[in-house]
């Protein structure tokens, strides 16, 4: 489960974030490419844009639910 205390500083301010559990598998970037990006040097993904519409929210939520290591969090809740 993602931990708000371990989230990457690169995450855009808002409810969705990735934390240090991320293994850079690319699933979130494939699921919601408009919202997740890759830090190539660090080898992890992060949220670079927060969703604004219901459809965008669903994509980010789908990425969260499908993350194989549960490295995506929502609203800072564990």
The pTM is what? 0.93
12-49 pLDDT per residue, tens? 999 999 999 999 999 999 999 999 999 999 999 999 99
Q: CB under 8 Å to 5, separation ≥6 — which residues? A: none
For the chain, give every domain's residue range.
7-73
- What 3-state DSSP class applies to 46? strand
CATH class given for the domain over 7-73: alpha beta
DSSP-H helix ranges across 6-69: 27-31, 54-66
33-42 pLDDT per residue, tens? 999 999 999 9
CA-to-CA dists, residue 38 to 27, 34, 45, angstroms = 11, 12, 4
């Amino acid at each position: 489960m993602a931990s708000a205390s371990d989230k990457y500083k690169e995450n855009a301010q808002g409810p969705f974030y990735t934390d240090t559990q991320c293994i850079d598998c690319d699933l979130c970037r494939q699921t919601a490419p408009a919202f997740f990006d890759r830090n190539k040097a660090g080898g992890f993904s992060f949220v670079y844009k927060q969703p604004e519409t219901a459809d965008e929210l669903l994509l980010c939520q789908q990425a969260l639910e499908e993350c194989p290591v549960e490295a995506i969090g929502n609203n800072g809740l564990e």
